[in-house]
Amino acid sequence: MTTRLSRRKAFDAIVSGRVKIDGVVVTDVKRPVAPEKDRVFLDGKPLRQGSPAPIYILLHKPRGVVTTTKDTEGRATVLDLIRKIKTPVFPVGRLDIMTEGLLLLTNDGPLANTLLHPRYGVPRTYHVKVKGRIPPKAFAVLKKGEIRLDGRPVRPVSAEVLKSLEKNTWLKVTLREGKNREVRRIFAKLGLPVLGLVRVGFGPLSLNGLAPGQWRLLTEKEVSRLRNIANRNAKAADL
């Protein structure tokens, strides 16, 4: 049986006890599966065996490319940049069309769900170019995390000025949630238009000198570090 679920629906199916492996109900989304020997059932129906091996791709998404697997407007997508990869993958999270930088693509749904869940607070680091110089009061508000989005306070951020010029300022900002267009909305609240935005870090990963449009496979060590930070943050959230 071939069943395709969104990451959110797959997560919900597991935690709600609808998935069994070798006859045992599994509710831990981080439980590893060996496709060659484990028998997996969803709602009592067997899933197709022989799933492709997990794959992890680090891409430097350029501006003007959309973070989706298919675009109805015919725009270039992140999958167009990795045509060499034949295994179906999906982007972990989203960068808007005018944002460039680090994007992880994978077919590992459980890990992706853990990395994206706001509760687990996996850090995202950005280089942000804003118009003008930042008033000290605005910078203090940014560092203290006193900004509200969607009626809720943004979780504390770390922020530092990288370069202050006459007409613009570059900052390094780290957030622990992945709200839609979060960085741009934060600086809009401060009255500072964003002129350039690059995600340079996601958890333990960094761009590592990749130029826009370039990509590479993660090393085993990087995958291990990614799992460790996800598990560590998940355990901390459960305390």
The residue assigned the tokens 């459960």 is 238
169 or 144: whose pLDDT is higher? 169
pLDDT of residue 36: 59
pLDDT digits (tens, 9 = 90+) for 87-142: 999 999 999 999 999 999 999 998 998 898 877 788 999 999 999 999 999 998 88
Burial of 44 (0-12, 13-18, 19+ CB in 10 A): exposed
CA gap 126, 219 in Å, rounded: 23
Q: Which domains does the chain have, with CATH numbers?
A: 7-46 (3.10.290.10), 56-118+207-219 (3.30.70.580), 123-202 (3.30.70.1560)
Tell me the Cα Rg of the chain: 20
Q: Give the separation between CA 134 and CA 168, rounded to whole angstroms.
A: 9
Asked whether the beta carbons of 113 and 231 are under 8 A apart, the reply is no
pTM of the predicted protein model = 0.76
Active site residues: 96
Residue partners of 202: CB distance under 8 A and separation at least 6:
93, 102, 104, 115, 122, 123, 124, 125
Q: What is the mean pLDDT of the chain?
A: 87
pLDDT in tens, 20-48: 888 889 888 778 776 656 788 888 887 76
Q: What percentage of the chain has pLDDT greater than the value 90?
A: 52
